[in-house]
Amino acid sequence: MPSKRKAAATPKAAPKPRRSKLAKDNNISAETEREIEEAWAMCAEEDVDGFEDEKMGVIPTSKVKTVLRALDIEPRSQKDMDEYIDILDPESDGYVTYEHFVELAAIQINNKSDETKDEEVEKAFKLFTSGNERPITYHDLKRIAGLLNQDVSDDVLKAMILEANKGEGVGSGVDMEQFREVMSRAGVFT
């Protein structure tokens, strides 16, 4: 009698990353913490004298601006940068620990000004409209899908517009406020 084979296991969707205690303490998502960790890793040094117990290593204070820039939270002035270094390295050791950096980064990320968010929304909107002052149209979505090599049906593109403009019609397109609302609901611009 032939041996029975077990059916191949169906792949499961990857579980949503869990927030660490550090992420919870600093009111950031697991995704945001992962972004901070990736930026940190670019400049992190291990086995630095006096910091051997730091699991995530440390970064030299000279690299803080680079990591902040990677997170798109670069300080606006040298005065702000000097304040950050004073906060991050109060003993003037020349190094910053991961935990302290996450605290500062979380504050900066959570406090992105409404003006900055508005600029980001406007910039993204203009990518769809090729910089024109008009609503996003069906043809804009079709063009973007093509640029991204995404095969999206006409019905899906039309449904996207109708969802965004609350059924005003495909020909009405999606204006800036409707786009902002969709992006906020999606968690892109919170």
The first and second tokens of residue 36, run together, are 């901070």
Q: Is the pLDDT confidence value at 91 over 90?
A: yes
DSSP state of 12: P
- What pLDDT score does 79 carry? 95
**189 band by pLDDT with thresholds 50, 70 and 90:** low
Amino acid at 143: R
- What pLDDT score does 1 carry? 53
Tell me the average pLDDT across 127-148: 95
Q: Is the pLDDT confidence value at 111 over 90?
A: no
Burial of 23 per CB tally in 10 Å (0-12, 13-18, 19+): buried
Least confident stretch, 65-74, 80-89, 109-118? 109-118
Where is pLDDT greater, at 2 or 168? 168
Tell me the average pLDDT across 113-120: 75
User: How many CA atoms does the CB half-sphere of 122 hold within 13 Å?
Assistant: 7
Where is pLDDT greater, at 129 or 190? 129
Rounded Cα gap, residues 140 and 125, in angstroms: 11
Tell me the average pLDDT across 84-103: 95
C-alpha distance from residue 182 to each of 16, 27, 177 (Å) = 22, 23, 9
Least confident stretch, 5-9, 54-58, 129-133? 5-9
Where is pLDDT greater, at 112 or 14? 112
Rounded Cα gap, residues 89 and 66, in angstroms: 16
Least confident stretch, 77-91, 106-120, 169-183? 106-120
Q: Is the pLDDT confidence value at 2 over 60?
A: no
Three-state DSSP at 136 gives strand
- What pLDDT score does 185 carry? 81
State the chain's maximal CA–CA distance in angstroms. Answer: 80
The first and second tokens of residue 68, run together, are 């902040």
For residue 97, the cross-strand partners are: 58
